[in-house]
Each structure stands twice: as structure tokens, then as C-alpha cells.
Chain A
């Protein structure tokens, strides 16, 4: 059941290269003004409503994908080693038709859509990304979710020969994530296979990655090889590393502070050296669509 959610942005908004060029010119102009500008205190916050997508360069060179290294540039540097074809996703657990689903077969069966979403990292930066992909619900229905399933567990590829970051014990590998079933079936939740109409680059989670726009970016697990339906809450990588810092839900919430970063504001990538911060929106701006999922829950306790 695709097309259950309509962008508040249209394809016309995704004119990245001109917007990108403009921004570059502004930045160059700032540089020309000299370094005196550094002394000017940045006061006002930038507006949060701007949904101009980030440029291809921004989206594909500034990534957190620790399987390729912890530096933001490492994924773009090393991910070209990754073999993404052939690729299959094992869907198992409480489903009617468990098995290894070939990526090409999945692509044939799914309805592709463009979704222009905000992406909010827990490190207090953000982007707007024009994804191409399909609703996760459609994929789960392909496998047939059984009654009694309440959670969905995801797993990233674990292939040290091609993923140099896996040689460091930064996290317990493989990377795993999880959603409650209703979150997974929500029309906003997609599996992305493209950006700007092009095949998704390896550093962004090729060939197929989850996108849950109202949660911090680390929930949107990349290069998925396994999806398991369960009746118990699955472990998630960052929660396992530090449950105090990273909750299972990890909904974007400007009122619940993270011990390392204030979550009240964020910096949109692309603003250059003098970029102003902007206020972070509840559920990353998708409150209307998803708040009902958490009715009656203490969002500070279940952070």
C-alpha cells in the first residue's frame, strides 16, 4: 500500500545543484569579506522550516557509517569497496513466508516513491534528503507479518574484508536496530534505495537502508541484510553501548537532553563556517503524523 504519505515538498523543490551553487557563492563571498566576520557573535537562530534539500555532495560526503570508519569522510573514502550485487535480505521470524529475498526481486515488487525528509543526527546536525524508496510496510507485507509479532529487528551487513571499520571494536558488530511494529508499518517509514533519483551510494547504505525520519539518524540502519519479526524488543547497537545515552525509541525530541549534546538546536549542513543553528522540532517536524504512536508514553523515560 504505497503512497500513503504525501510530501509537503514536491520534486520541484529538489533543484539541488542551483541551490548548492548559490550557497557556494555566498560562502565564497563570506570568505572574501575577510576573517573579521568571525568576531560577529551569531545571535538569532535560522528558521527551522526551510526544506531545501541538501546538495548531492553534502549528502554523500558527510556520513556516519562506522563500518567504514568513524570520520565523517571515511564512508565516502572507503565504501566503494563494498559489493552490493548480488544482495539479498533475509526476512525471518514471525512471518508467513520467511526466506532470502533477492534485492532485484524486491525492487520489482515495490512501488518506488520520492520522499523529501529531514534527517536529524543525534550529534545535533541535520540535512534534508530527497530519498527514493518504498514503504517498509509493503516489504513486510510481502513476507506476511504474523499475529503476535510486535517488533522488527534489523541487521547491517558484517563483511570485514570490505568494511575496514569492522576491524575496530567501536561497537559490537554487526550493527543492529529495531522498531516497534507500528513504527515499522507507519507510512513515513521507508526503505531507501536512491537519492535524487540515482542509485543510493554505498556510503549512504546501499543497496537498501531504513529511513525513519522522526528518529535520530542512527535508527535508520544502513545496508540491511536481515529483517526479523519478533514478539520481544530487540537489542539495538547504540543502546547496547550506552542505554543512558541512547534509548530504544530515540525519537527526535528537543526537550530530552542527551548527555553529550543539547538536542534543543541543530546545525543544518551546508551553511558554511558561520552557519546559524536552528531550533529542533518535536519528532523532527513529523509530530502531526507520528505523535499518536506514543500517546500516554513518558517520552523522557522512553527516550
Chain B
């Protein structure tokens, strides 16, 4: 019996990881993404989310959505800097994130606010709700065009331009988080910092490429 060695990959472990990831079907992501809100709802109904499950569910969904949005933003830098290729999953991550925002909104409408009269009042009066709604509206066209048909219809360039809306949307989501917490917003600021870094990485691709050792230094 021979000792275990690295699988037969020529250079880096990341390639091995990429090879494993290629075996993971995208539908598995959708399945897991769909299961999570169902699990949360079940937990909420059976005491698993504590004694106040409505806010807990609202918070869990909001947090899950934000986490996925941030993860979606990280996919390009992860490939550029570490060679990790998650491009196949990017659409699924965006679509699942949007679904979570939708459930988050639904919990707010149906379980939290409850009375239709208060819904509009809250949207216009509570800045964090207004901002949250703006995030939802910014993400809606992206979710609606996250299919091959739309990419063909719009053309790749226009589609890509439209999907740059994700940048303001994620910033708006972070702002929403920042203004809804009480006290000094430690955790939201960490999210905001990560988002800003992920966005800055996109600003000057030439500089980025230079740092990665590709292009001559820009002047």
C-alpha cells in the first residue's frame, strides 16, 4: 500500500478544489438554498428560534441574504487572486440571495407589520425600511434577468451593465443594516468594510492585474 499523496494535480491545491467543485451540480445549491428558509420556518414554529420567532426569522433571513450577496461579490476576486473558480455558482447565489430578501420582506409584511395600513406608513417613515425597500427594488430586475433567455435578449454587454446594479444594491443593504441596529453599529460596519474592499478591488482592474503579476505597472 502506498502512502497518500496529493491527487495527481500539477500545481496548486486550488486546482484540486476546482476539480471537486466541478462535480457539484448547481441544482444542489438551489436545493440547499431552498431548504434553509423552510428549516428556519420550521424552527420558528417549533421553538427553535427562541421565544420571539418573528423577529428572529426576519433577522436570520436578512442576514442570510446579506451573507450571500457579499459572497456573490467575492466570487470574482476569489478567482482573480486565488484561482478559485466559483463562476458556475454565481447566478444561483444571486438568485438565492434575492429569494431570501423576498422571504425577509414577506415575513415583515405578513408576520411582523400585519396591518396593511401600517405597511406604507413604515416604508415612508422608517428610514431603514425605506432603504431596505430600495435594496429590494434594485435587486428585482437582476433576479428577473438571471436566465439565459434574458442574457440573449439583452445582449451580453447590456446585461452586464444592468447587473452592475448589484454594487449599489449591496451598499444599500449594508446601509439598511447599519441604520437599523441600536447603538454603535459594530457588526454592520464590519460588513460595510468588507463590501467596500470587495468593490474597490474592481475599481482599477489594471492596478489589480499588475499586483497579480500580469500587466506592466500602470503609470
Residues of A whose CB lies within 8 Å of any CB of B are: 24, 27-28, 30-31, 35, 38-39, 41-43, 55, 57-58, 61-62, 66, 70, 72-73, 123, 125, 168-171, 241, 257, 259-262, 267, 269-270, 272-277
Contact = CB atoms under 8 A, between A and B. Distances in A.
A96 B181 CA distance: 42
B193 to A, nearest CB: 15
A169 B186 contact: yes
Contacts of A24: 47
Contacts of A41: 110, 114, 116
B50 interface: yes
Nearest to B183: A170
B177 to A, nearest CB: 13
B114 A276 contact: yes
A160 to B, nearest CB: 15
Interface stretch (B3-11, B70-78, B119-127, B160-168): B119-127
A166 B97 CA distance: 33
26 contacts: A30-B45, A38-B111, A41-B110, A41-B114, A42-B111, A58-B51, A61-B51, A62-B50, A62-B51, A62-B52, A123-B182, A168-B184, A169-B184, A170-B183, A170-B186, A171-B184, A241-B183, A260-B128, A262-B118, A269-B51, A269-B52, A270-B51, A272-B53, A273-B45, A273-B54, A276-B114
Contacts of B41: 35, 38, 273
A30 B114 CA distance: 18
A133 B204 CA distance: 64
A90 to B, nearest CB: 26
Given A27-B46, A55-B51, A262-B118, 8 more contacts: A41-B110, A62-B51, A66-B183, A169-B186, A170-B184, A260-B182, A262-B121, A272-B53
Interface string B89-112: 000000000000000000000110
B48 to A, nearest CB: 10
A35 B106 CA distance: 14
Interface residues of B, number: 32
A264 B27 CA distance: 45
A277 B112 CA distance: 9
B183 A275 contact: no
B110 to A, nearest CB: 6
B183 A31 contact: no
B52 A260 contact: no
A70 B183 contact: yes
B44 interface: yes
Interface string B15-47: 000000000000000000000000001101111
B186 A39 contact: no
A42 B46 contact: no
Contacts of B44: 273
B36 to A, nearest CB: 15
B50 A61 contact: yes
A38 B46 contact: no
Contacts of B50: 61-62, 72-73
B170 interface: no
